[in-house]
Amino acid sequence: MSNTTKQIVEKYGFRFTKSLGQNFLVDMNIVKDIIRGAEITKEDHVIEIGPGVGTLTRGLLEAAGKVTAIELDEKLIPILKEELKGYEHFTLLHEDATKVDLGEIADGASIKLVANLPYYVTTPIITKILNDKTDFQSLTIMIQKEVAERMNAGPGTKDYGALSVLVQYYCDSKIIRTVPPESFIPRPKVDSTVIRLTKLSEPRAKVTDEALFFKLVRQVFNMRRKTLSNNLKAMGYSREFIEEALEKAGIDLKARGETLTVERFAHLANTIKEMNS
């Protein structure tokens, strides 16, 4: 039987680095649920961000055709090499996942990304993957419960924000399970959630100018208590232009942007674009 997380930590005298978000999984049921939730098959190339001492990695190696893990902490590199040495379809990269080109690592294949993400990199990594248009099939990630709820939130709710629109523009999302603090060493202060984001074959809405679409979304949620007309005013549009754009898009003058679905945001951005050209 393979070593457990605690045994490996003790064997190498590993010291946790809090600033790297190091909370290692000790509950093998969670590992199984993540792998099942990610729907990994022998056909898949899986990229894992932050393998730690390899608890989830080992399960991924048993299920997938190929696994590439990216770990920033140099103290973990020799441990991972030793503990996972029998697996020929394993590649370990000592890199910062926020800086690597995942497309290059995937090398033409469509990847499934699986990670128990350090909390401080969750939003930068998701934003990078989605905005860089990395070719991926799904991202199955364990993240802070509140962040998963924001990704999954619908219009008009308090959790709905720029991250919800970004995720829902590109993906379908599904909550796989919640995970309590006692499933990790050391225990984090917050609950975690495993969520799967499956990439849509086409973005959810047709957008003629994505830069304008995302600028509009960011503006709305930076000043979320304001009406959409005031948001548009802050973007430099005149009163007449705003009234015409909202009327054409079929949106009430007093509406708040935070009530718009991805499709409605897209429709408004497309209307503004058309009026400007």
Judged by CB under 6 A, the residue of 46, 49, 80, 194 near ligand SAM is 49
Q: Does 98 bind ligand SAM (CB under 6 A)?
A: yes
Choice between 39 and 73, CB closer to ligand SAM: 73
Q: Where is 29: in which H helix or E strand?
A: helix 28-37
- Whole-angstrom distance, CA of residue 85 vs CA of residue 44: 20
By CB under 6 A, name the one of 14, 35, 45, 51 that touches ligand SAM: 51
CA pair distance 277, 274, nearest whole angstrom: 5
Retrieve residue 206's tokens. 């047709």
Cα separation, 162 vs 148, whole angstroms: 13
Tokens matching residue 146: 């509140």
Query: Is the Cβ of residue 100 or residue 212 nearer to ligand SAM in the bound state?
Result: 100
How far is it, in rounded angstroms, from Cα 151 to Cα 158? 12
Examine residue 223 and tell whether it contacts ligand SAM (CB under 6 A): no
Choose between 85 and 99: whose C-beta lies nearer to ligand SAM: 99
Indicate whether 118 belongs to the interface with ligand SAM (CB under 6 A): yes
Does 140 interact with ligand SAM (rule: CB under 6 A)? no
| 210 conformational bin, left if phi > 0, alpha if psi -120 to 50, beta if neither | alpha
Annotated binding site for S-adenosyl-L-methionine: 23, 25, 50, 71, 96, 116
Which residues here bind ligand SAM, judged by CB under 6 A? 20-25, 49-52, 55-56, 70-73, 76, 96-98, 116, 118, 121
